Amino acid sequence: MHRSASARLPMTVFFFGALAVPLVGRGQEVHYDVFVTSDGTGLVLGGYDDAATTATVPSDQMRVFGGEVVPSGTSPAPYESASPGEPGFRASTQAFLNNPSLTTPAGVYTALPGSTPLTFSFLPLTIGAATRNLFYWGGSGTVAFAPAANDVAVTLTKQGGGGWSAGITGTSAGIVAGNTIQPTSSGASVGTIHTHLFTSIDKGGLVPDEGFYLFSLQLAMTGLQSSESAYFVFGALDPDAMTPQQLVDFETAHGLAEAWVETNLAAVPEPATGLVALLAASGVGVFITRRRRRNGGFAPSADPAG
């Protein structure tokens, strides 16, 4: 089973099958970054727990991650991930990887080479008869991702010195070049990375439809085989306009969306030819981790036309 890492809204306990996860309040959330390491040949994906400062790298990897975009506070559009930004990325030293109190499993994986850029590209997804870079589900009824509307845009931004922005739209349907997430460190902390990108979503420059947006990234580094595809399910919501029950409903829908991605995308073997993956359906496994809770209410919107 492939594991997933996401963000959860608090104040209750979220149940998924036999898995019960206590959800924590604002400022106390559990946080998983995308943890990047190597098996000596290629990049391997796991999850880094910010709260516990530990990493988990399942043998089948962790490939589904979640997040949220909300009104920025200065403008209603676009919706953006809150500070310190999502998604986050981590890579650690060989000593960290070999320490059983820090990494599970320990002594298996290899630290990344020093002074080497970690880069990414957006990958296309095929769901049903549609191939796009960006899919959407409104959150009501059975999970049914469909191509996002043509005027929807998802942008990843690296802030600060040397910052950049890269993104996809509802019309994107191929491999789209991203940028450098961060070069690995050298010296005593050789191979390490710790950085966060900011995700923003808009629809024609205005607020996006509330619901769930799905896209995929592949990570790359010179000298190593590129990673398997990582899937990101971002919920777009205005928590200040939502009741507590609507927040719970939104959270439940987010968990269902991630489980659907686990079952129908992450668990499917990818073609050996690399970046372009035509995806079907297979097994399931969910590793729930983080999302923020805010006060307010959610009414699922209808799926927009592609």
> Cis peptide leading into 100, omega within 30 of 0?
no
CA atoms within 13 A on the CB side of 145: 31
Q: Domain limits of the chain?
A: 3-266
Q: Is the pTM of this model over 0.85?
A: no
Strands 211-220 vs 117-123: parallel, antiparallel or unpaired: antiparallel
- Cα separation, 85 vs 157, in Å, equals 9
Per DSSP, 209 falls in state: P
Q: What is the residue-level pLDDT of the chain in tens, covering all 306 positions?
A: 455 554 433 322 233 322 223 232 223 344 689 999 999 999 999 999 988 999 999 988 999 999 999 998 888 899 999 999 999 999 999 999 999 999 999 999 999 999 999 999 999 999 999 999 999 999 999 999 999 999 999 999 999 878 999 999 999 999 999 999 999 999 889 999 999 999 999 999 999 999 999 999 999 999 999 999 999 999 999 999 999 999 999 999 999 999 999 999 998 765 433 333 333 333 333 333 333 333 233 333 333 333
The 3-state DSSP class for residue 196 equals strand
Report yes or no: 96 and 227 within 8 Å, Cβ to Cβ.
no
Quick one: pLDDT at residue 160? 84
Report yes or no: 133 and 155 within 8 Å, Cβ to Cβ.
no
Q: How far is CA 199 from the centre of its chain?
A: 10
Quick one: pLDDT at residue 267? 85
Bridge-partner residues for 180, per DSSP? 119
| Complete DSSP assignment for 221-275 | BTTBBPPPPEEEEEEE--GGG--HHHHHHHHHHHHHHHHHHIIIIITSPPPTT-S
Run of H or E including 117: strand 117-123
* Cβ atoms < 10 Å from Cβ of 144: 14
